[in-house]
Every structure is written in C-alpha cells, then in structure tokens.
Amino acid sequence: MTSNFKKLFIYFIFFYFIFNIEGKAKNAPESFADLAEKLMTSVVNISTTQTITTQSNPFPFQFPPGSPFEDMFKEFQRPTERKATSLGSGFIVNKDGTVVTNNHVIANAEDIIVRVNNKEYEAKVLGADPYSDVAVLKIESSEKFKPVEFGNSDKARVGDWVVAIGNPFGLGGTVTSGIISAKHRDINLTRYDNLIQTDASINQGNSGGPLFDLDGEVIGINTAIISPSGTSSGIGFAIPANDASKVVDQLIKYGETKRGWLGVKIQYVTKEMAQVAGLNEARGAFIGGVSEGGPAEKGGIKTADIVLEFDGQKIKTMRSLLRIVANTSPNKKVAVKVWRDKKLITKRLTLGRMESVKEFKK
C-alpha cells in the first residue's frame, strides 16, 4: 500500500465516522408548531373555588390567653368567609374526559371547572393522592375528547428536548420548550420525590400540566419551580410519567392508592454510620425503629439494620427505599437484604398496605 493511498484511506475512514455520527444525532427541531397543534386540544385549564374562613379581630391587639377580657370581647371576633380561586393545568388521558392533574391544584376545592378548547365543563374528583401530588378528574359530559398517552420516562435522557403546555397566570394554551436538565431530583416536595428537572418555562398555573417529549408522549407532570421571585427561573420540576401513571391507574380503578407498607422508621446512612457498621460506603437505609406487629417485625428485621436490597432492587438511599416499597403491591412476598453485625443476611416477609395503617389515614 503506497503512502498516498494510506493517507487517502485514513481520511476516508475519518470522514465516514464523523458523517455517520452526525447522521445519527438528533438535531434541534426547526419548529414545535406541528407538535403543539397536535397536542393543544388534549391539555386543559383548571379553575377551582373554595371557601376560606378567617377570624376577624376589630381590635389592633390580642388579649393574652387566660385574660379576663378574653371572653368579654369574644363576641366581637366573628368568623368571616370569602371565596378563593386558583388556577392550574391538566391533560386528558381517556376520550371519556378523564383528566390528570396535581393534587394541590384541586385540594379542598368545592367547584372545579375544566376548560377544553375554550369550552367550560364541570368536573368531579375520581381520586387524589397527596403523597405523590397526583389527582384524577372526570369531566361531566358525554362528549368525546382527544387523549394523550404516557411515555416511558425512564428512557428520557438529560439533554433531551421537552415541551410544556399549560395555563400559566391564567393564559391558557401557552407552549414553552426546553431540555431535561437533570433526573432523579429530590427537593422534599413530596414523600416520593424522584423528579425530572427542566429549563422549559414553568410558572404559576402550569401545575398539573404535561411535559411532552418530541414524540408527543407525556413524560412528566409539571409540579413545581424553584424561584426567589415566584416566576420561572429555568428550574422547573415534573413528576416522571412512570411514577405518575401507576398512581393514575390506581386512582381510576379504585379511587385511592394501594401502596406497600414495610412498618419501619428509617433514616439516611451517614459516612460515620457506614464506617461503624463496616460498610465500604454510605448507602442503604438505616432502620431507626420497627412498628410493633408490622411486616418488618414479623419478618425478623431489627432496629439498626441497614437495608441494602429490597425485592431485588438495590437501595442507594433512605428515599429510594420509600419509593420502592410504595411502588410494590400490598401482600406481596419479598426478600429484603439487610446489613447486620457486618454481615449481609436475607429476610423474607409479606408487605402490608400503607393506606390501612392508622398513622397514614387521611
């Protein structure tokens, strides 16, 4: 092979490799118009009203508790009522008018109005879950609506394009775009935080609205923002579709959730705790207490155990154990691997149901 031929061959391989990579890479869309037009009719605006009762005080001061004047002036302190309204978003998941939104959008609402394509309908709550901040509504109409579908949020990658559609500040039908900034965020918003972070503009009123991928599938429910001013600062959060859809299915089928219950009090494993326990790193969930008569106690789990694996899934942190147990069906028999006395041992037990336990009842 001559020297010139070798160079030509190397250049050919190099450019083939570059062009092949560029051909497979996803380019930024020229426009979101076709996608937005297709999805807009499936996104709804939600408005709610509730009565707020407050205690009015005509005096510019308060009497201290136990004061002889306290009872004398009680009759002047009368409760007053006012109507409060709030706005949110949602999306249709069934042609019969089943709508998914956030629990905090409809919590304590007396009246719920859903607007679809500039037409208003009354709606009722099929089920709501404050622990995951998910709620399901039913539009009270015999009309047929255009639904959207949940996608696979586990396949969504950091850097992927996303589109949010909602009702920020009452401006319905607002479309914003951005990328997935991060995954698996825990901001202590809900009991089971596992949030998608996005820089697509999300503001007040976007809550409950969908976060779409470029295939037009819902990969998240827009839920919260971090912002000193209360408006979008490019840090928004959505409940992943794979987590939300499980809750939605249960709320539609049962009107409530059915989560697994282990019966333990847990806390984070610190580096110091890991060293004392003989673990090579801080991981797992530390058992700080065991409920009397609960599944964990019956299965032989003890205080000071560190749960490293639950039903075949590795436990990285305390919060991951919460999510995994909750996503496991009640009455399921599971194997739990715990670290005790510097040894890994396996315990087998049958899960209870969280919602039936006294301390979790709403």
For residue 234, the domain's CATH number is 2.40.10.10
HEC-encoded secondary structure of 151-187: CCCCCCCCCCEEEEEECHHHCCCEEEEEEEEEEEECC
The total number of structural domains that make up the chain: 2
Residue 346 domain-assigned (yes or no): yes
212 and 301 assigned to the same domain: no
200 CB burial (10 A radius; 0-12, 13-18, 19+): buried
- Strand bridging mode 218-225 / 343-350: unpaired
For residue 87, give Cα distances in angstroms to 102, 166, 201, 278.
11, 10, 17, 52
pLDDT at 21: 39
Of 254, 279, 294, the one marking the end of a domain is 254
Q: How high does pLDDT run on average in the chain?
A: 88
User: CA of 171: how far to CAs of 114, 139, 176, in Å?
Assistant: 14, 21, 12
Q: What is the pLDDT of residue 85?
A: 82
Beta bridge partners of 340: 343
Measured between alpha carbons, how far is 60 from 335 in angstroms, rounded to an integer? Answer: 62
Residue 12 scores a pLDDT above 60: no
What gap in Å lies between CA 315 and CA 312, rounded to an integer?
9
- The Cα–Cα gap between 31 and 170 comes to 25
250 part of a folded domain: yes
pLDDT at 53 exceeding the cut of 60: yes
Residue 321 has pLDDT above 60, yes or no: yes
Using alpha carbons, select from 265, 339, 345 the residue that is nearest to residue 297.
265
- Judge contact between 165 and 221, C-beta under 8 A: no
Q: Is the pLDDT of residue 59 over 70?
A: no
Residue 266 sits in the same domain as residue 354? yes
Of 42, 47, 89, 133, which one is the catalytic site residue?
133
Do 324 and 312 form a contact (C-beta atoms < 8 A)?
A: no
Q: Which of 47, 89, 104, 201 is catalytic?
A: 104
The answer to whether position 123 is within a domain reads: no
**167 part of a folded domain:** yes
Domain co-membership, 241 together with 278: no
Question: How much is the pLDDT for 22?
Answer: 42
Q: In the chain, what percentage of residues exceed pLDDT 90?
A: 75
pTM passes above 0.85: no
With vertex at residue 328, the alpha carbon angle to CA 323 and CA 332, rounded to the nearest 5 degrees, is 150
In this model, does residue 99 exceed pLDDT 60?
yes
Active site residue 184: no
The arithmetic mean of pLDDT across residues 326-335, rounded, is: 96
The answer, yes or no, to whether residue 38 has pLDDT greater than 90, is yes
Any domain includes 285: yes
The CATH number that applies at residue 337 is 2.30.42.10
Average pLDDT of the segment spanning 55-71: 59
Cα 125 to Cα 334: distance, rounded to the nearest angstrom: 34
Examine the residue annotation and report whether 207 is marked as an active-site residue of this protein. yes
C-beta of residue 283 within 8 angstroms of C-beta of residue 317: yes
Give the pLDDT of residue 51.
Answer: 77
Among residues 254, 286, 315, the one where a domain terminates is 254
Q: What six digits make up the tokens of 361?
A: 């009842």
Q: Which of 203, 223, 254 is the last residue of a domain?
A: 254
133 has catalytic annotation: yes
pLDDT, one tens digit per residue, over 263-308 is 999 999 999 999 999 999 999 999 999 999 999 999 999 999 999 9
Q: Choose the catalytic residue: 42, 47, 207, 320.
A: 207
Whether residue 267 lies inside any domain: the answer is: yes
Q: What is the pLDDT of residue 68?
A: 60
Rounded Cα–Cα distance for residues 222 and 198 (Å): 9
pLDDT tens for each residue of 222-236 = 999 998 888 888 999
Q: Are residues 193 and 285 in the same domain?
A: no
Which range is least confidently modeled, 41-50, 143-152, 284-293, 350-359?
350-359
Does any domain span residue 332? yes
Identify whether residues 274 and 350 lie together within a single domain: yes
Q: Which two tokens stand for residue 108?
A: 């304590």
The reply to whether 268 and 355 lie within a common domain is: yes
Phi, psi values for residue 168, rounded to 5°: -65, 130
Which domain range does residue 276 map to?
260-360
The pLDDT score that the predictor gives to residue 56 is: 60
pLDDT of 69: 55
Could you tell me if 166 and 235 lie in one domain? yes
